[in-house]
Structure 1
Amino acid sequence: MSTLSWVLFGMGGAVLLVVLIALGFALFGPRRWRARLGGARLVWAGGLAFPVVVLSALLIYGLSLTSHLTQEPQPGETRIRVTGEMWWWRVAYLDDQGRETFQDANEVHIPVGRPVVLELEAADVIHSFWVPRLSGKVDMIPGRRNLMRIQADAPGAYGGQCAEYCGGPHALMGLVVVAHEPVQYAAWLRKQSTPVETAALPGPGAEVFGRAGCGACHTVAGTAFNGQAGPDLSHVGSRRTLGAGILPNNQGVMAGWISDSQSIKPGNRMPAYPVLTGQELRDVSAWLESLK
């Protein structure tokens, strides 16, 4: 994508230079040159033929350069399915056969220096996946799977955003792409695919989680909580953000989000829980923070 961008910038600069030279001749050149610039033949050539040739050449070059970005996944490529939902991102890591190995939410983890195939889908309305430093925008359309390839050349966190208005708190539907060195990425995959040992242990936080009915919408691997409507919380404590990329992830923010997420992100589909006491909020947020 960067190669195509530089080619487009370069061609745009070259066309601008040609126009400025022609303008200079038209304003300050000899009378003979000004007469030629105003002739019908040059107007047709410069106003019609020149743009058609330049734009057609750029179109053909761009399509040939980026055709591999939408090819079907090849053996050995990293595959991740990202599903846009109102108003968060469901992220599923796939094996070579396209089978889901585990789920995450609102963060996409990738290895540095390797192309990653993203399978983009939507569960409800049209969304658009956009991480400006890694890719262009690709729409996520209900009933359709769009493919795109991204690659990070340096480790770090890359911010993203839904780029298609999808109603409600669309402006607060962010995400983070985290790029790891290959060794660290392999270790992260192993950790994420293994249920957190403390998840199965009884405790006040887990009891509050069950009593409030959170397990009807959320999954925590290693427990009886297996809801599918909301984000998978099996490793929620390891995420950088909450609320789809809009808040830092810590115990205090977690408690506030559980208590009244509507005051933070109006219109999201998680109800407020004003019935929980301060101690219950501390217990459940501490338990969720331990899920790393």
Structure 2
Amino acid sequence: MSAALHTIQSAAGNDGQHSVLIFHLFGIFLGVTSFFYLLVLIFLFWAILRRRREQSREPALRRSLVVWVVIISLTLGGLTLATWFTDRGLAQAGDRPGVEITLIGHQWWWEVRYENGDPSRIVHTANELHLPVGVPVQISLRSDDVIHSLWIPNLAGKQDLIPGRVTDLSLLPLHEGIYRAQCAEYCGMQHTNMALDVTVESPEAFNLWRTQQLASPAPPTTPLAQEGQTYFTRGPCASCHNVAGTTASGQVAPDLSHVASRRSIAAGTLPMNHQNLANWIADPQAAKPGNNMPVVPLSPVQLNAITAYLETLR
């Protein structure tokens, strides 16, 4: 993948229109408040060091008070206008979204649906977002258990996922790259291991990815992977996980139709590779204690076959 990997989560970047607008507003407030803070210090030292005059300067004091009231009022008015324009910019960034996504928080993983008017063309995936650069995106957020919070600091501010309610997050990615999103609301034992890979790519690459996700994965061609498919679809795995084009149609755990194309396992807990995948299947509690995936007794032959099968799901 040619997209740059952004390992630093920073809200001070310029990778999303929302983060740019908010950071500019922060810079305005920081500059204005710093100026007045220094001004107050200068006057304070001047008042301490100057020689007090004998005669009363009440009229001059009143004039200076009026001047400062006017200055402060104009400054506060300017900051209010800057905030208003920023708020308008944030609202307009979500107008006419080119991509609509439903994101559902679970303990401790993310369910992702790319919506479409045709139900047969809805993309189901998990623990990853693909976004086209320069295209407004609208994400509808909800939780099926406790309060979570989606935060993609490089692209936008955070938004809570609240059980029984639907909240929205609009964003406009400005640069291609791979970013890390994080649950930003404590949600239990594995809160810190509830991450989300966000890949921003060209519209052409995004459309290609979306088309690939709509297709069922190719059937396995090697005897080992074919054996693994049999174990998977006829065993307990299929009662929780879905794999398009097979009899595995579980709905309570991440969709695995194209799991091998993802960068990580278990919501960003482990990098995707053969050993990590095998270890996760064998003992998910070792890597992510408290998660809802049970330990399924498997022989070494079964484990090797299921791992080989999952590695074909691209």
TM-score (norm 1): 0.87
Contact 2:29 2:79 in 1 (8 A): no
More divergent stretch after superposition (228-237 vs 8-17) = 8-17
Matched, 1:28 2:46: yes
Distance 2:73 2:211 in 1: 58
Distance 1:132 1:53 in 2: 29
Q: How far 1:70 moved relative to its partner?
A: 5.8
5+ long unaligned stretches in structure 1: none
More divergent stretch after superposition (223-232 vs 275-284) = 275-284
Match of 1:169 in 2: 190
Counting only pairs closer than 5 Å after superposition, residues 88-237 of structure 1 correspond to structure 2 as: 88-96=109-117, 101-198=122-219, 203-237=226-260
In structure 2, the CA distance between the partners of 1:38 and 1:167, relative to structure 1 (3 Å rule), is farther
Matched, 1:83 2:104: yes
Rg larger in 1 or in 2? 2
Match of 1:245 in 2: 268
1:282 to 304, 309, 314: 304
Match of 2:4 in 1: none
1:41-75 CA distance string (max 9 Å, x none)? 57x949x968864664454334323223566xx3x
Instruction: Give the secondary structure class of the aligned counterpart of 2:233.
Output: helix
Distance 1:287 1:148 in 2: 36
In structure 2, the CA distance between the partners of 1:63 and 1:31, relative to structure 1 (3 Å rule), is farther
Contact 2:233 2:246 in 1 (8 A): no
Distance 2:43 2:84 in 1: 32
Instruction: Give the secondary structure class of the aligned counterpart of 1:197.
Output: coil
Contact 1:79 1:98 in 2 (8 A): no
- The number of aligned residues is 287
5+ long unaligned stretches in structure 2: 1-17
In structure 2, the CA distance between the partners of 1:116 and 1:31, relative to structure 1 (3 Å rule), is farther
Match of 1:60 in 2: 84
Distance 2:99 2:171 in 1: 10
Distance 2:121 2:288 in 1: 30
Distance 2:201 2:84 in 1: 35
Contact 1:216 1:225 in 2 (8 A): yes
Instruction: Give the secondary structure class of the aligned counterpart of 2:283.
Output: helix
Distance 2:120 2:226 in 1: 33
1:262 to 272, 285, 288: 285
Contact 2:93 2:136 in 1 (8 A): no
Q: Percent identity?
A: 35
Q: How far 1:259 moved relative to its partner?
A: 0.6
Q: How far 1:102 moved relative to its partner?
A: 2.1
Distance 2:196 2:155 in 1: 13
Distance 1:97 1:50 in 2: 53
Pick 1 or 2: higher relative contact order, CA cutoff 8 A, min separation 6.
2
RMSD in angstroms over aligned alpha carbons? 3.0
TM-score (norm 2): 0.81
Distance 1:185 1:236 in 2: 17
Contact 1:199 1:222 in 2 (8 A): no
Q: How far 1:199 moved relative to its partner?
A: 5.8
